[in-house]
Amino acid sequence: MASLTGSGEFTRLDAELIRVIEDVVDVLIDRGLLRLTDLPAEAQRKLMTRKGARARLRHGLDLLGPDDVI
């Protein structure tokens, strides 16, 4: 049972580290220190796919517009 808990913790930590790396890449691109095209094509595709998925999730959770009132 301990290995399952450990495995779950590593999975969570990996997901958190992936997000940190994505944020670092975004900052480097925003500051002009890196171009997306500097990365291998597969890395570009994965970054753009994850960015698109996060945007869809974020917009999907925004059920009310700025002028909507509850």
The model's pLDDT over 29-39, given as tens digits with 9 standing for 90+, comes to 999 999 999 99
Q: How confident is the model at residue 60 (pLDDT cuts 50, 70, 90)?
A: confident
The model's pLDDT over 42-56, given as tens digits with 9 standing for 90+, comes to 999 999 999 999 888
pLDDT of residue 11: 93
**Type of residue numbered 13:** L
Is the Cα torsion angle 9, 15, 18, 24 positive or negative in sign? negative
Is the Cα torsion angle 24, 28, 34, 36 positive or negative in sign? positive
Segment 15-25 mean pLDDT: 95
